[in-house]
Amino acid sequence: MFTRFEVARLLGARTLQVALGAPVLVKTELKEPSNIAKQEFREGMMPITIKRKLPSGEEIVIDVKAAIKNWLSEGREI
């Protein structure tokens, strides 16, 4: 599951990538990079990996697609 801070960071990073010319991963007529990033989020097409560092020092990799699906199923807004 994502924190709201991870969602903000994820959307911000992807918005920057799209603004700098990264390929768009969804079919859309949208032109604004932030709206494109939100559309990619809604469709679970975020090409980004999230790693969390636990207090024990261990790092875990978050399954982004599953976390997005969980976020949206809870009715949270982006």
- Give the tens place of pLDDT for each residue, 10-25: 999 999 999 999 999 9
The answer to whether 36 and 24 have CB atoms below 8 angstroms apart is yes
How many domains does the structure of the chain reveal? 1
Does 58 have pLDDT greater than 90? yes
Give the range of the structural domain holding residue 22, as residue numbers without chain letter.
Answer: 4-73
Does 78 have pLDDT greater than 90? no
Residue 78 included in any domain: no
Does 38 have pLDDT greater than 90? yes
Give me 46's structure tokens: 């975020």
The percent of residues in the chain predicted with pLDDT above 90, rounded, is: 82
CATH number reported for the structural domain that contains residue 57 in this entry: 3.90.940.10
Continuous segment of H or E residues that includes residue 36: helix 33-42
